[in-house]
Amino acid sequence: MIHRMIVVTALFAVCLCAAQSQESSKERIEAFARLPDWSGLWQFDVVADELDGQQLGAAGLRRAKAYAVALHPSYTPAWQPKIDQLEKARDAAIAADPNNPPSRGRCGAPPPFPATMLPGYSEWRVTPEETTLIGTIGSVRHIYTDGRSHPPKEELWPTNQGDSIGHWEGDTLVADTIAVKQPLIVSYAEPVTTVGPLSNEFHAVERIRMVNHDEMQIQLTADDPVALAKPITVTITWNRVKDLNRMDENEDSGACDPTVDRNPTVNGRFQTIVKPAPATPTEPTGR
């Protein structure tokens, strides 16, 4: 009798677990169904009409100038001298060697947050728990939407992409980012528009939504009470990538190597290799 009760209890537990699993699966399917479809590849609209040789087209140049105006910063009186000193040093370096200007980035490092105004393709991975932004030029960013908050200030550790948490307002993802390591906002324009460096009090809020099948908008508001006299607000537009017949921009082991990288940084200066490096044979040539 006792053995029979044990068997019945075990069967009941198995049935209960199966029912809970089915219910959980159903809820998860419904959670995915509520999320927008951001599948495919996207790119910054400035480079959408990029010409051969990585030159911006006419439409891209117009967009770049508009972004430059929107991104123009107003620094605080305490921070402005720091920017002036950096620009003075940069101008002197350019005057010393105008053909090879100093690089603003770190060779081989992934682009910093927000990395939404740079060339390259980006892909969204949207789940109920988080949205992941993967860039082909080396950046991976996690925006957690599982209800968590930022870590306490004493536990924050600045990283390249910062600490991002978010929530959904309909089909709009609202992302809040802090703890960005050496924050800098860069827009791919001619010339490149750079805001910063900024302080460790940098804070950004983005409202991200797909306005139609081929266009996405990211409304970025960046504030920094130490460095910025007023917040920077800009609406970034992304276009869906339909034609992949262009240079591969994935980061590889040849980054920063002037023999294989088209735009290496050598001794801290940005270089452009006009003549492509010889192709490496994929098979032995014999003798």
pLDDT one-digit tens code per residue, 214-231: 999 999 999 999 999 999
pLDDT higher than threshold 50 for residue 251: no
For residue 74, the model assigns a pLDDT of: 96
Structure tokens at 246: 């262009």
pLDDT higher than threshold 60 for residue 14: no
Q: Which residues pair with 176 in a beta bridge?
A: 165, 205
Mean pLDDT of 121-129: 95
CA neighbor of 178 nearest in space, from 208, 196, 198, 156: 156
The torsion defined by the Cα of 24, 25, 29 and 35, in degrees rounded to 10, comes to 50
Binning pLDDT at 50, 70 and 90, where does residue 24 land?
Answer: confident
Are 112 and 183 spatial neighbours (Cβ–Cβ below 8 Å)? yes
Binning pLDDT at 50, 70 and 90, where does residue 285 land?
Answer: very low
Binning pLDDT at 50, 70 and 90, where does residue 8 land?
Answer: very low
Binning pLDDT at 50, 70 and 90, where does residue 139 land?
Answer: confident
Euclidean distance between the first and the last CA atom of the chain, given in angstroms as a whole number: 83
pLDDT digits (tens, 9 = 90+) for 164-200: 999 999 999 999 999 999 998 887 666 577 888 999 9
**At which residue do the structure tokens 């508009």 appear?**
66
For residue 120, the model assigns a pLDDT of: 84
Are 241 and 42 spatial neighbours (Cβ–Cβ below 8 Å)? yes
Which carries the bigger pLDDT value, residue 225 or residue 2?
225
For residue 267, the model assigns a pLDDT of: 57
Q: Which residues pair with 39 in a beta bridge?
A: none
HSE-CB for 7 with a 13 A CA cutoff: 4
CA neighbor of 194 nearest in space, from 183, 205, 204: 183
For residue 47, the model assigns a pLDDT of: 86
Mean pLDDT of 137-148: 93
Cβ neighbours of 211 (radius 10 Å): 10
Question: What integer best gives the mean pLDDT of the chain?
Answer: 81
Give the per-residue SS3 of the chain: CHHHHHHHHHHHHHHHHHHHHHHHHHHHHHHHHCCCCCCCEEEEHHHCCCECCCECCHHHHHHHHHHHHHCCCCECCCCHHHHHHHHHHHHHHHHHCCCCCECCCCCCCCCCCCCCCCCCCEEEEECCCEEEEEECCCCEEEEECCCCCCCCHHHCCCECCCEEEEEEECCEEEEEEECECCCCEEECCCCCEEECCCCCCCEEEEEEEEEECCEEEEEEEEECCCCECCCEEEEEEEEECCCCCCCCCCCCCCCCCCCCCCCCEECCEECCCCCCCCCCCCCCCCC
Which carries the bigger pLDDT value, residue 119 or residue 147?
147
Q: How many residues does the chain have?
A: 287
pLDDT higher than threshold 90 for residue 15: no
Cβ neighbours of 169 (radius 10 Å): 10
pLDDT digits (tens, 9 = 90+) for 65-95: 899 999 999 999 999 999 999 999 988 988 9
For residue 265, the model assigns a pLDDT of: 59
The CA-atom distances, in angstroms, between 57 and each of 63, 124, 187, 271 are 10, 26, 16, 22
For residue 224, the model assigns a pLDDT of: 97
